[in-house]
């Protein structure tokens, strides 16, 4: 094997400058002389063998006894350079290295493409994130890709989740969260301020005056509402109706917004949306267009869809998210007592993802449906209980139990709400949707 005799002169050329090697009659770059030369030499001696550019120098060094000490030292230099690259890749370096290095790699056009579909509102949020200290193009792109395109989304999400989703380093995230919280003025505030905020809470009509009254004037935004009940009690029908009603103008009981429907059971029916839209004299084509639909094929997929929703909310003006049903997949996938803790933990995380969305977007309403299961130890009264146990009970803000009444009638019972009295409401499911 040819040896890199020219390497003795390498110290005369500065880093980055080409160095002409007499032996292989090629230019080498300082810092890479040994590696390039060795690759060349090996290629020359073994016929037709293609040498991988990323060949492990350390392997070659250990196999060649005749390599001089200088060459060995040089090989360490090469390894060291490679090591530094590795460290930078792993984001273990502090913010400055992180940004500077990656910003070079980033293609600004990529970021522009990403932002092209954003509405003005969404762009304003991104602009605010861009102004956070230490946010370069690369960090910004990573944040946007992971769904953290507003100060709120950064401030309200636990650092471990931001890190997992975006791949940014601990220190960068810590600084970003701190700066976002400062900008948003998150901290203690007087109850008066909270009241001012709650006075302006928006509501979506259910289509039934009685049901709206049970909710204190309609299904409110900024929280997670759970409808649970047996089959055919109207959970899916209510979900469809809310997708139509959220599109109504504010004076008609809507929010002038779009809906995102996550269907885990395959029971979303556009024909029902058309019937309900006609009930309001709305153009059903427009109504259908304003419903973003996602079919979740398993629990992991369901969790992923909710995570992806973050980026769609501003872009599509989404004011309502439906998950129908919340734990169907979890019940069928996690079987046996041994999986219970794991299942509950995943459901808990999923519900918190939804709750966090309502913190980030206070004018967003999240509605989930839930099945019931029988309580074998109940002999008197209602033997059914909402599935999912305490995790779901504590995760949702308002819980309503649905049961069948006479014919098309259904009864809704308020089970738990932080500010509403217990009570019942009767509503009907008709061809044109939910009415009194």
Stretch that binds ligand ATP, among 191-199, 339-347, 373-381, 425-433 (CB under 6 A): 425-433
Quick check: 210 and 423 in contact, CB under 8 A?
no
* Of residues 5 and 267, the one with the C-beta less far from Mg ion: 267
CB of 267 to Mg ion, least distance (A): 5
CA atoms of 2 and 42, how far apart (whole Å)? 8
* Of residues 267 and 384, the one with the C-beta less far from Mg ion: 267
* Of residues 3 and 403, the one with the C-beta less far from Mg ion: 403
* Of residues 148 and 228, the one with the C-beta less far from Mg ion: 228
- Bridge-partner residues for 313, per DSSP? none
User: Does 83 help bind ligand ATP (rule: CB under 6 A)?
Assistant: no
CA atoms of 247 and 51, how far apart (whole Å)? 62
Q: Pick from 233, 264, 346, 397 the residue near ligand ATP by CB under 6 A.
A: 233
* Of residues 230 and 300, the one with the C-beta less far from Mg ion: 230
* Of residues 37 and 280, the one with the C-beta less far from ligand ATP: 280
Beta strands 384-386; 258-263: pairing state = unpaired
Q: How many residues make up the chain in this entry? A: 436
* Of residues 152 and 263, the one with the C-beta less far from ligand ATP: 263
Contacted by 430, from ligand ATP, Mg ion, none: CB < 5 to 8 Å by type: ligand ATP
- Phi and psi, residue 109, nearest 5°: -60, -35
Q: Pick from 163, 236, 290, 346 the residue near ligand ATP by CB under 6 A.
A: 236
DSSP states along 291-325: EEEEE--SHHHHHHHHHHHHHHHHHTTEEEEEEE-
* Of residues 152 and 324, the one with the C-beta less far from Mg ion: 324
Which residue pairs from 280-285 have beta carbons closer than 8 angstroms and sit at least 24 positions apart in sequence? 280/244, 280/245, 280/248, 280/252, 282/244, 282/247, 282/248
Tokens of 411: 């009864």
Q: Which residue is nearest to Mg ion (CB)?
A: 236
- Bridge-partner residues for 105, per DSSP? none
CB of 400 to ligand ATP, least distance (A): 12
Tokens of 80: 């060291």
* Of residues 235 and 356, the one with the C-beta less far from Mg ion: 235
CA atoms of 94 and 97, how far apart (whole Å)? 6
User: Does 370 help bind ligand ATP (rule: CB under 6 A)?
Assistant: no
Q: Which residues contact Mg ion by CB under 5 A?
A: 235-236, 267
What lies within 8 Å, CB to CB, of 318 at 6+ separation is 257, 258, 259, 260, 292, 309, 312, 364
CA-only gyration radius of the chain, Å: 30
Q: Pick from 235, 316, 343, 356 the residue near ligand ATP by CB under 6 A.
A: 235
Report 250-289 residues binding ligand ATP (CB under 6 A): 267
Quick check: 30 and 19 in contact, CB under 8 A?
yes
User: Does 433 help bind ligand ATP (rule: CB under 6 A)?
Assistant: no
The contact pattern for ligand ATP, residues 206-225, with x = CB under 6 A and - = no contact, is --------------------
Q: Pick from 128, 161, 430, 435 the residue near ligand ATP by CB under 6 A.
A: 430
CA dihedral 125, 142, 167, 134 (to 10 degrees): -70
CB of 337 to ligand ATP, least distance (A): 25
* Of residues 149 and 325, the one with the C-beta less far from ligand ATP: 325
Quick check: 267 and 324 in contact, CB under 8 A?
yes
User: Does 329 help bind ligand ATP (rule: CB under 6 A)?
Assistant: no
> Quick one: how many helices (H) and strands (E) in the chain?
19, 15
Quick check: 258 and 246 in contact, CB under 8 A?
yes
Q: Pick from 192, 199, 231, 266 the residue near ligand ATP by CB under 6 A.
A: 231
CB of 237 to Mg ion, least distance (A): 8
Q: Pick from 234, 294, 388, 395 the residue near ligand ATP by CB under 6 A.
A: 234
Q: Pick from 131, 198, 232, 394 the residue near ligand ATP by CB under 6 A.
A: 232
CB of 185 to ligand ATP, least distance (A): 42
- Bridge-partner residues for 20, per DSSP? 27
With vertex at residue 126, the alpha carbon angle to CA 122 and CA 130, rounded to the nearest 5 degrees, is 170
Q: Pick from 10, 205, 237, 310 the residue near ligand ATP by CB under 6 A.
A: 237
Contacted by 7, from Mg ion, ligand ATP, none: CB < 5 to 8 Å by type: none
Interacting residue ranges for ligand ATP, rule: CB under 6 A: 229, 231-237, 267, 371, 429-431
């Amino acid at each position: 094997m040819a040896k890199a005799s020219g390497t003795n002169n390498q110290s005369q050329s500065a880093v980055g400058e080409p160095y002409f090697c007499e032996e292989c009659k090629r230019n080498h770059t300082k810092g890479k002389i040994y590696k390039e030369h060795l690759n060349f030499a090996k290629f020359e001696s073994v016929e037709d063998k293609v040498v991988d550019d990323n060949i492990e120098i350390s392997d070659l060094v250990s196999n060649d006894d005749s390599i001089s000490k200088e060459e060995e030292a040089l090989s360490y230099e090469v390894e060291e350079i490679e090591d530094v690259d590795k460290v930078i890749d792993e984001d273990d370096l502090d913010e400055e290295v992180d940004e500077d290095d990656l910003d070079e790699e980033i293609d600004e056009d990529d970021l522009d493409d990403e932002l092209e579909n954003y509405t003005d509102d969404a762009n304003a949020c991104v602009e605010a994130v861009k102004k956070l200290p230490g946010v370069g193009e690369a960090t910004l792109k990573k944040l946007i890709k992971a769904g953290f395109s507003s100060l709120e989304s950064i401030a309200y999400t636990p650092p471990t989740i931001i890190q997992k989703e975006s791949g940014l380093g601990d220190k960068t995230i810590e600084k970003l969260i701190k700066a976002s919280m400062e900008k948003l003025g998150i901290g203690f505030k007087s109850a008066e301020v909270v009241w001012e905020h709650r006075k302006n809470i928006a509501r979506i009509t259910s289509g039934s005056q009685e049901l709206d009254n049970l909710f204190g004037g309609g299904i409110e935004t900024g929280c997670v509402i759970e409808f649970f009940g047996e089959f055919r009690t109207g959970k899916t029908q209510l979900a469809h109706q809310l997708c139509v009603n959220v599109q109504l103008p504010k004076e008609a009981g809507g929010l002038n917004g779009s809906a995102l429907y996550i269907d885990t059971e395959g029971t979303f029916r556009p024909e029902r949306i058309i019937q309900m839209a006609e009930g309001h004299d709305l153009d059903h084509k427009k109504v259908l267009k304003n419903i973003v639909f996602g079919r979740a094929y398993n629990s992991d997929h369901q969790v992923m869809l909710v995570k992806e929703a973050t980026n769609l909310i501003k872009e599509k003006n989404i004011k309502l998210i439906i998950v129908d049903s919340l734990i169907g997949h979890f019940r069928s996938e996690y079987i046996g007592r041994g999986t219970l803790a794991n299942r509950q933990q995943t459901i808990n995380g999923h519900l918190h993802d939804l709750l966090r969305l309502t913190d980030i977007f206070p004018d967003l309403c999240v509605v989930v449906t839930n099945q019931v299961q029988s309580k074998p130890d109940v002999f008197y009264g209602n033997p059914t209980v909402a599935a999912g146990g305490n995790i779901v009970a504590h995760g949702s803000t308002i819980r309503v139990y649905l049961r069948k009444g006479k014919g098309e009638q259904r009864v809704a019972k308020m089970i738990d709400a932080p500010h509403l009295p217990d009570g019942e409401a009767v509503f009907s499911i008709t061809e044109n949707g939910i009415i009194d």
